[in-house]
Amino acid sequence: MKKNLEIKIQLESASQINSIRKSLNNYTRSIEKQTDIYYKVKKGRLKLRIINEKEGNLILYDRAEKKGKRISHYTISGTKDFRELEYILTRQFDILIKVIKKREIYILNNVRVHLDKVSGLGNFLEIEIIYSDLLKAKKQMAQLTDLLKLDETKFIKNSYSDLLK
């Protein structure tokens, strides 16, 4: 399983969002419409992510639900045939919830920054640092948190699926 260090925070204003965009001008940017279908499973989380109604990723992940910076262990398997995979999963597992979002993705090396507009919830920022050296990842997270002027006391522990339930 891969590992990342991650944070999530709700964004309070358009000016905050624009300031973050400007700070990430050296990152590669893309935009996706994502639908995450969460399934009821006995351990961790299992979701099918449908991207732009063209492809999908089956994502299994497990993490401690704690406020602040947290470590997530995950496995991703991509598919071009997401409709068939959704059919199989829906026959085998109950659907927990669907999360629909527009995601701006900013990538630089092992760092992913997401600006998410989540239906029914609002605007959020997620930072994911994929790592093999946790100390280095923590340093990168601290630098990025400072650069983006994020208040660590406002970090959110919950998944969007939890917040929508």
**CB neighbour list of residue 75: distance below 8 Å, 6 or more residues apart:** 1, 2, 59, 60, 61
State pTM to two decimals: 0.92
Per-domain residue ranges of the chain: 2-164
Give residue 69's pLDDT band: very low, low, confident or very high (50, 70, 90).
confident
Segment 19-45, tens digit of pLDDT: 999 999 999 999 999 999 999 999 999
CATH H superfamily, domain 2-164: Hypothetical Protein Pfu-838710-001 (2.40.320.10)
Quick one: pLDDT at residue 65?
65
Taking CA atoms, 2 is separated from 6, 60, 62, in Å, by 13, 11, 11
Type and span of the H or E element at 1: none
Q: Please report, rounded to a whole number, the percentage of residues in the chain having pLDDT higher than 90.
A: 88
